[in-house]
Structure 1
Amino acid sequence: MATEIIEARGHIIDSLVLPRILDEILNHGGNFELLDVDIGKQRMDPSYARIRVTAPDQKQLKEILAAVRDHGAQVVGEGGITLAQAPADGVFPEGFYVTTSYPTQVRYGEEWIPVERQRMDCGIRFDPERKRAETAKFCQVRAGDWFVTGSTGVRVNPPGRGRERSIFEFMSSEVSSEKPKHAIIRELAQEMREARAAGKKTLLVAGPAVVHTGAVPSVVGLIEAGVIDLLFAGNALAVHDIENALFGTSLGVDLEHALAAERGHEHHIRAINRICDAGGIRAAVESGILRSGIMHACIRHGVEFVLAGSIRDDGPLPEVITDVIEAQQRMMALTEGVQIALMAATALHAIATGNILPATTRIVYVDINPGVVTKLADRGSFQTVGLVTDVGLFFGDLLEQVRGPEPAVAARPRMRRSMVAAGNGGRRSRR
């Protein structure tokens, strides 16, 4: 038998961290003995647990310890990190530590050093001279860089449940038609106003269904209100937004009358051609060719955007980044300081963005498809609120709430993970 003593501290009871640690031990074939449990007496008080873990052999014990570390457990009296050099560009050393999206620290000597640019599915690059740790993806690895190997000396701090009681606490199901959608949108609007006041960023990740459902005026209104700071999208969102601005259609459908326009199937191709002839989106705005729409508002109001390309794109537009590594690096550079990520009707871009955001970023995902709404949380994104509704109705309601009077209440309920509301039907693009 192999044994080790671990400890966990923080809000491990109310955030259900302790039960998850015990489940990991049992699921990996081990057993546990609770040696000491000190539960905080007040809501703000942290709790503490000391646990003896036993396993059939050292290999299985090592697997258990690696699993419980992701929930913030730490081996009592363990040493600092072990380091190894990358053998080549784009290649981590064997046994490198793989990060989660949770805030992480590494122990070097007697000092705990926070890991910068926290995101999931990365290695931890460490500079011994500067005592600096940061995450790195494959494309960022350079031969000779030092990386953390194993899990010794790594401490993970899962975000705890908010101290304020949520008005949605009584609703615990993942997907339901009985979620208070309007209340969540009202709270989101307040969160966005607070982020703006604190100098933090709100990121919009949007798919072409935002245009198809007639939400363009509402999104433009949010940009003009100053609550959208960044836009991540694909070629299709920009193409159909510009098609709508130039021809009044989206995928050839007249958005005012919901009827197919004559030869409307050509409109998005002609829109691409007109922008290419102008020299790009910015040039089209500055020359007066493009006078409305989401992309026009981004240019006019200084909202930075990343349009990431796909193998199925028509065109693409000149601003579209067709190198996926370059697009990913650009997205990672811009996500610093993002407090809220609002994602609508784009599973591909939402999951990609969720993977590069730390768990401390609030994510709100909106889609008409319940399966797509839950997918982001399934990929490991922690603080996610899901709304199952038509995105056109959602953005209209959100703009109304953003423009409305701010609630004069001292304590607001906070959004919790996987709160899913349902609304009326809509449709999403196949693009």
Structure 2
Amino acid sequence: MTVAREVELEGHIIDSGTMETAFSIIMDMGGEFDVETFDIGRSKTETSYARLTVTADDEATLDAILHELHQNGANPADPDDAELAPAPRDQVVPPGFYSTTNHPTDVRVDGEWIPVEDPEMDCAVVVERGAGTRARTAVLNAVEAGDMVVTGEAGIRVDPPERPRESEGAFGFMQGGVSSERPSESTIEQVADAIVETTREGGDVLAVCGPALIHSGAREDLARLVRAGYVDAISAGNGFAVHDIERDLYGTSLGVNTETLDHARKGHKHHIYTISEVIRAGGIEAAVEDGLVESGVMYECVVNDRPYVLAGSIRDDGPLPGTITDAVEAQNAIREQAHEADMVLMLSTLLHSVAVGNCLPSTTRVVCVDINPATVTQLLDRGSAQAVGMVTDIGTFVPILAEKVLGGAGADSGH
């Protein structure tokens, strides 16, 4: 005896590959399908609609298929209300709770679809009733006893970003994928146009930075973008800030002169000297205000009031004052940055790229640049399918990007 359920797909389901993906999921997982309705959009802007009957040999197989379909934007044709259960105690969710994707999501409560606030992967959904019903994502450590948590798959609607038939404008190139070619000035120019457009529209650009950006000599160019208002916030680790300030104090990064590539005498001690001097000054802001630090990315963040988050690591020296060493506190600070960002540049850092990527909704535009292809592919594999990846040298990418942004928009023009 077989069991069956109808699902719907709507949007640019042909161009985005959504329909092909749905067919593959059903067949690969041992199910079958019949296409009951298929309305094809007849113009570049018209969407398509399909209704499928999915069948399987038993309920367990059908539930597994429907779960995978749901994660990819196929929703039940006859939705029920979402099932809610109270959290038994703080940081404990009910069994079978719904674990979110990073796509825009709605939940059906009392017959009405409610948008879930702050879409983010691997969270619970908490529904609050009061003056008005609202739904929000909650990381597990933020769930409180009595919170009404969505369980199961019923009454949940997921809407993955689509790839339209026509890709135009500054963001037309941002359709996902990885390029392993040498730095392409045309691609970098498109990234630059996207940054300028985001800024012009009042959006925020977040730069997620690794120490390699300083080692490679791209520090001054990123600082120019911060100063000119095309990078609104920085997310980095203690090491990035240490080597940025080391470059100002000693002309080196990890003891190496980034211009001549010479190893300075006692250069291997420069980073720890840097930390000591900043601690002595009372912190990064105090070091800038006292005139100890006079250039660089952190300097520009302080003097131009650009917020930054420095997240600590088990391997940190020091660390610098202001580095958040509590992992949960650091994650919450990164999450706040991620939710405010309209475009994110991930620049040569695997751990921070994945950390920020985990907090981003799939509607946020992401460009990930690293010489190591594993950084880019891991980000996409984790679920940041909206990311555009470039496998290239960060020391070449950032200077060209700054030239394109500042040259095209007017140097140091700001917002």
* Aligned counterpart in structure 2 of residue 260 of structure 1, from 263, 285, 290: 263
What is the Cα deviation at residue 197 of structure 1? 1.4
Q: TM-score, normalised by structure 1?
A: 0.91
For residues 26-80 of structure 1, the C-alpha deviation after alignment (integer angstroms, 9 at most, x for no partner) is 1221111111111100011110101110011111111111111112212122211
Q: 1:303 to 1:162 in 2, by over 3 A?
A: farther
Cα distance, 1:172 vs structure 2? 9.9
Q: 2:301 corresponds to which residue?
A: 298
User: Which residue is equivalent to 1:416?
Assistant: none
Is residue 105–residue 114 contact of structure 1 (8 Å, CA) maintained in 2?
A: yes
**1:415 aligned partner:** none
> Within 5 A, what are the aligned runs for 1:375-414?
375-405=378-408
- Map of 1:72 onto structure 2: 73
Q: Residue 405 of structure 1: CA displacement? A: 2.8
Match of residue 121 from structure 1: 122
Query: Residue 177 of structure 1: which of 174, 181, 187 is its match?
Result: 181
What residue in structure 2 maps to residue 373 of structure 1? Answer: 376
- Which residue number corresponds to residue 141 of structure 1? 143
State how far apart, in whole Å, the 2-side matches of 1:339 and 1:164 are: 22
How far apart, CA to CA, are the structure 2 residues paired with 1:77 and 1:108?
14
Q: Distance in 2 between matches of 1:264 and 1:21?
A: 57
| Coordinate RMSD, CA, aligned | 1.8
The one of 149, 156, 159 equivalent to 1:157 is 159
The residue aligned with 2:200 is 197
1:106-129 CA distance string (max 9 Å, x none): 111221111001110101011133
| Contact 1:181–1:387, Cα closer than 8 Å, also in 2 | no
Deviations 1:374-422 (A, max 9, x none): 2110111021111111111111000100112359xxxxxxxxxxxxxxx
Q: Name 1:29's counterpart in structure 2.
A: 30
Partners of 2:307 and 2:291 in 1: how far apart?
20
Q: Which residue of 2 aligns with 1:45?
A: 46
Summarize deviations over 1:227-251 as a string: whole Å, max 9, x none: 1011000000000011111000011
CA distance in 1, matches of 2:297, 2:76: 51
Letter in 1 for 2:116: V
Aligned to 1:423: none
Maintained 8 Å contact 2:38/2:50: yes
Contact 1:345–1:368 (CA under 8 A) maintained in structure 2: yes
Letter in 1 for 2:388: V
Equivalent AA in structure 1 for residue 92 of structure 2: V
In the other structure, the counterpart of 2:214 is 211
Unpaired runs of at least 5, structure 2: 411-415
Deviations 1:200-221 (A, max 9, x none): 1100000000110011110011
Match of 1:354 among 354, 357, 360: 357
TM-score using structure 2 length:
0.94
Identical columns (%): 45
The equivalent of 2:7 in structure 1 is 6
Say which of 337, 347, 363 aligns to 2:366.
Answer: 363
Matched ranges for 1:50-69 at <5 A: 50-69=51-70
Q: Give, in whole Å, the separation in 2 of the partners of 1:26 and 1:322.
A: 47
Q: 1:222-371 maps to which residues of 2 (within 5 A)?
A: 222-371=225-374
What is the aligned partner in structure 1 of residue 111 from structure 2?
110
Q: Deviations over 1:310-362 (max 9, x none)?
A: 00000000110000100111111222331110011110000000000000011
SS at 2:144 equivalent? coil
